[in-house]
């Protein structure tokens, strides 16, 4: 017989009993204790069930900026066995319509900024009800009124925590997003991975500024902190000035920044003299991290921790330790405590030799269970022995550190030689006149494929193709040099985490529309 385990909302119930007055969440000047957070989660679980008829396995979607209600909704869904679906608020109406058609939620919880869009989406979804959690709108039930009238539901005890807890859609860097199904078990082990890597205790203070509709915003620091009884300050959306102000005034100990956000923070005139002494570690990742992100923080005496993973891994799979974050290394680190990782030479899963580039495979309880309503993609993603094939390329050095090269699908094969766009992009990152850049492969009659630099110059700057191509002289082998340069006005298409959508750039390049 399977052991009965408390659902993950029990983390909050435990802290509410253990240290009820300790701070759980700070948001827009208000502080919520663990006791208050537990009460709200219990009442929301009751409202979901009694008012909206949400039951085990039903999906509940959220559309809006970062807010405490996102945390409450995730745990309330876990308490009744429902599935939390955070939606990327940056997507278009057509994209949201597709996502809702894919996950078919019983309820969509929305904030005022998205009232009109949600109403239009609901017209085509008679099976989906709406509610709002900020401001009052006579069309839909109001979140706070629901809590006032709801009966409190305690945490549940279940024999299996492998049931879905969340569906998080991939960022779509290779096409249509896929819904990664993360179980309660996956979220639990993801939290343990985060606690281990960042050495999180109840004394920590996390500042969450990247979107929590991504696993990076929700799972790298936020859920591990709540599981440990720490306090989390949430900002609705990333704003460089607001983030720097919070760092200086509130003295958080931990912060996650994707490279694009870090560079925006560094660009502030006040950054040079800002007091960063409260921070003990800054995590970064989501793409190959250039030195322009690492150096400004390390030069201020901060540990900069690189984390590698995907939506499908929760995301923390490989990471550098806090101690290693003080060095000058550029590796992604080593496999975390509850996730195996290896670099394979071929589809048999045979290990690649140290230093040899291959595909990164992962295995562990933090991984997705499946892709929602997509058995073909699920089957393609897993090897027979439960290893997940990431599609990312990298190598392991002699000391066991992982280095990330590129997406497998972004690999350029020119004249029979492998060319990794990330290598060229590291050269472009050092060019101060470029506002944006990426490298993609294009058909070439002689070489099969050739690298093409697609760049956006900073305003008022002039640069010729010859000048840009000269950047690679003596830096990279000749066969890796770009075949041509395309100057465009930008902006380049990006995901909500700032990663360039290379497939869109390639399509535009081939269509001649750049």
User: In terms of C-beta density within 10 A (0-12 exposed, 13-18 middle, 19 or more buried), how is residue 382 classed?
Assistant: middle
What pLDDT, on a 0 to 100 scale, did the predictor assign at position 115? 85
What pLDDT, on a 0 to 100 scale, did the predictor assign at position 497? 64
What pLDDT, on a 0 to 100 scale, did the predictor assign at position 293? 83
pTM of the model: 0.85
Question: How far is Cα 22 from Cα 225, in angstroms, rounded to an integer?
Answer: 13
Structure tokens belonging to residue 307: 């984390």
CATH architecture of 411-511: 2-Layer Sandwich (3.30)
Pick the CATH number of 1-160 from 2.40.50.220, 3.40.50.12780, 3.40.1360.10, 1.10.3470.10: 3.40.50.12780
What pLDDT, on a 0 to 100 scale, did the predictor assign at position 434? 95
Question: Band of the pLDDT at 171, cuts 50, 70, 90?
Answer: low
Name the residue ranges covered by the structural domains of the chain: 1-160, 411-511
User: In terms of C-beta density within 10 A (0-12 exposed, 13-18 middle, 19 or more buried), how is residue 9 classed?
Assistant: buried
Question: How far is Cα 512 from Cα 20, in angstroms, rounded to an integer?
Answer: 61
Structure tokens belonging to residue 240: 């460089």
What pLDDT, on a 0 to 100 scale, did the predictor assign at position 173? 47
Residue 41 pLDDT exceeds 80 = yes
Residue 3 pLDDT exceeds 70 = no
What pLDDT, on a 0 to 100 scale, did the predictor assign at position 240? 96
- Residues linked to residue 21 through DSSP beta bridges, in sequence order: none
- In this predicted structure, which of 327-336, 373-382, 430-439, 480-489 has the lowest mean pLDDT? 327-336
Task: Give the residue-averaged pLDDT of 163-167.
Answer: 96
Task: Give the residue-averaged pLDDT of 131-155.
Answer: 83
Structure tokens belonging to residue 371: 């892709």
What pLDDT, on a 0 to 100 scale, did the predictor assign at position 189? 98
Per residue in 428-453, pLDDT (tens digit) is 999 999 999 999 999 887 787 899 99
Question: How far is Cα 432 from Cα 435, in angstroms, rounded to an integer?
Answer: 8
């Amino acid at each position: 017989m399977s052991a009965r385990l408390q659902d993950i909302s029990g983390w909050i119930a435990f802290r509410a009993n253990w240290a009820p007055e300790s701070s759980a969440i700070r948001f827009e000047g208000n502080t919520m204790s663990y006791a208050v957070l537990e009460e709200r989660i219990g009442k929301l679980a009751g409202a979901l069930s009694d008012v909206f008829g949400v039951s085990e396995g039903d999906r509940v979607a959220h559309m809006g900026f970062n807010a405490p209600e996102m945390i409450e909704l995730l745990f309330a869904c876990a308490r009744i066995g429902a599935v939390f679906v955070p939606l990327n608020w940056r997507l278009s109406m057509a994209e949201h319509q597709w996502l809702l058609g894919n996950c078919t939620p019983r309820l969509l919880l929305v904030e005022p900024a998205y009232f009109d869009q949600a109403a239009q989406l609901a017209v085509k979804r008679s099976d989906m009800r709406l509610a709002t959690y900020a401001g009052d709108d006579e069309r839909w039930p109001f979140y706070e009124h629901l809590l006032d009238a709801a009966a409190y539901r305690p945490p549940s005890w279940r024999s299996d925590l492998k049931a879905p807890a969340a569906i998080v859609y991939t960022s779509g860097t290779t096409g249509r997003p896929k819904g990664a199904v993360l179980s309660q078990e996956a979220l639990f082990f993801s939290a343990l991975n985060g606690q281990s890597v960042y050495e999180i205790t109840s004394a920590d203070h996390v500042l969450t500024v990247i979107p929590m509709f991504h696993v990076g915003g929700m799972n790298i620091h936020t859920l591990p902190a709540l599981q440990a009884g720490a306090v989390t300050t949430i900002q609705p959306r990333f704003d460089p000035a607001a983030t720097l102000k919070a760092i200086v005034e509130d003295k958080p100990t931990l912060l996650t920044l994707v490279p694009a956000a870090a560079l925006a923070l560094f660009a502030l005139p006040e950054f040079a003299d800002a007091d960063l002494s409260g921070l003990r570690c800054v995590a970064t990742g989501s793409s190959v991290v250039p030195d322009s992100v690492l150096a400004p923080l390390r030069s201020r005496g901060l540990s900069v921790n690189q984390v590698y993973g995907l939506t499908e891994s929760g995301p923390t799979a490989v990471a550098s330790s806090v101690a290693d974050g003080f060095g000058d290394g550029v590796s992604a680190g080593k496999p975390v405590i509850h996730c195996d990782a290896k670099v394979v030479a071929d589809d048999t899963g045979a290990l690649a030799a140290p230093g040899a580039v291959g595909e990164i495979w992962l295995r562990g309880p933090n991984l997705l269970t499946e892709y929602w309503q997509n058995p073909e993609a699920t089957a393609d993603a897993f090897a027979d022995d439960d290893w997940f094939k990431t599609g990312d390329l990298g190598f392991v050095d002699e000391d066991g550190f992982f280095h990330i090269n590129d997406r497998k699908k972004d690999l350029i094969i020119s004249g029979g030689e492998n060319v990794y766009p990330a290598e060229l992009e590291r050269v472009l990152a050092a060019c101060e006149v470029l506002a944006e850049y990426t490298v993609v492969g294009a058909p070439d009659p002689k070489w099969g494929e050739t690298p093409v630099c697609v760049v956006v110059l900073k305003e008022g700057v002039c640069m010729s193709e010859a000048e840009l191509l000269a950047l690679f002289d003596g830096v990279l082998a000749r066969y890796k040099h770009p075949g041509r340069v395309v100057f465009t006005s930008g902006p380049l298409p990006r995901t909500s985490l700032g990663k360039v959508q290379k497939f869109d750039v390639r399509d535009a390049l081939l269509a001649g529309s750049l």
